[in-house]
Amino acid sequence: MEFLGDLVAWFLDSENWTGPAGIPNRTWEHVQISVVATAAAAAIALPPALWLGHKKRGGFLAVATVNIGRAIPSFAIIALFLPISIRLGLGLGFWPTLLALFALALPPIFTNTYTGVRDVDPSLVEAGRGMGMTDGDVLRKIEAPMASPVILAALRVSAVQVVATAPLAALVAWGGLGRYIVDGFAVQDNIRVLAGGILVAALSIATEVVLGAVEKRVVPSGLTTTEDVVRGAHG
């Protein structure tokens, strides 16, 4: 009970809510690097994955290449690019961590997008072509909307993974909520370590909930038959 009381007292301490080391600023730093990493991964992964899925070719090689990012631990990527970042004058923390989080987010976005577009019902594609649609029209108006649940799910999963992994940034002098964990370990302050873990878990859950709600609002509804999809695309 004493430990729990100390934890509550830590969260109620006004000093932990103000200044550069306060919870709001640390949360913003955490969100900032997570959003940039996920957005960069989506910007790089989506165009080729959509096109390869549409063409139904080159997927095995592309997916195998991208999945290399899953085989390398995020901290190893940070350690690898830290000296490069320093040599290029980019400094500590942000850029090495950003690259590691980018590599983490890229594979699921690419793989799910490619698979989602590739597996769209061929009858829908043929119906669209029969109505005079170009390749771009078919991809934009039929395949992408039909694959959107899979694509958005991949974006959501990637974002949650990135948020949960971003505390590693604190190991290379970046901020974020991981600072509470790393600094707490450094001074053997278990309350601060646990508080940091709770904050990271809370932000991860919030990311899941918010993106899940966005997913439900964005995914097209009512397109349940071939006729419905083609009519909606052509209209």
The domains of the chain are located at 2-234
Q: pLDDT tens for residues 26-61?
A: 999 999 999 999 999 999 999 999 999 988 887 777
What superfamily in CATH does domain 2-234 come from?
MetI-like (1.10.3720.10)
Q: Is the pLDDT reported for residue 224 higher than 70?
A: no
Q: Would you tell me how many other CB atoms lie within 10 Å of the CB of residue 197?
A: 16
Is there a contact between 93 and 169 (Cβ–Cβ < 8 Å)? Answer: yes
Q: pTM to 2 decimals?
A: 0.86
Spatial contact of 167 and 155, defined as CB atoms under 8 Å apart: no
- Residue 143 · residue 117 · CB < 8 Å: yes
pLDDT band at 193 (very low <50, low <70, confident <90, very high): very high
- In this structure, what token pair is assigned to residue 60? 């095995």
Give dist(CA 152, CA 141) in Å, integer. 16
What was the pLDDT predicted at 229? 43
187 membership: H or E segment, kind and range: none
Q: Note the pLDDT of residue 230.
A: 44
pLDDT-based confidence at residue 228 (cuts at 50, 70, 90): very low
Looking up tokens 């909307």, which residue turns up? Answer: 145
235 pLDDT band, cuts 50/70/90, is: very low
Secondary structure element (H or E) that encloses residue 3, with its range? helix 2-12
What distance in Å separates the CA atoms of residue 74 and residue 102, rounded to the nearest whole number?
10
Q: What is the pLDDT, as a whole number, of residue 226?
A: 42
Average pLDDT, the chain: 85
Residue 231 clears pLDDT 70, i.e. is over it: no
User: What pLDDT, in 10s, does the model give residues 75-117?
Assistant: 787 877 778 788 777 777 788 889 889 988 998 899 999 989 9
Buried b (16+ CB within 10 A) or exposed e, 60-88: eebbeebeebeeeebeebbeebbeebeee
Integer Cα distance of 207 and 99 in angstroms: 20
Q: What is the mean pLDDT of residues 198-214?
A: 95
How distant is the alpha carbon of residue 13 from its chain centre?
Answer: 32
Q: Minimal CA–CA distance to 54: which of 139, 132, 121, 141?
A: 139
Q: How confident is the model at residue 69 (pLDDT cuts 50, 70, 90)?
A: low
Closest by CA position to 147, among listed 235, 229, 26, 80: 229
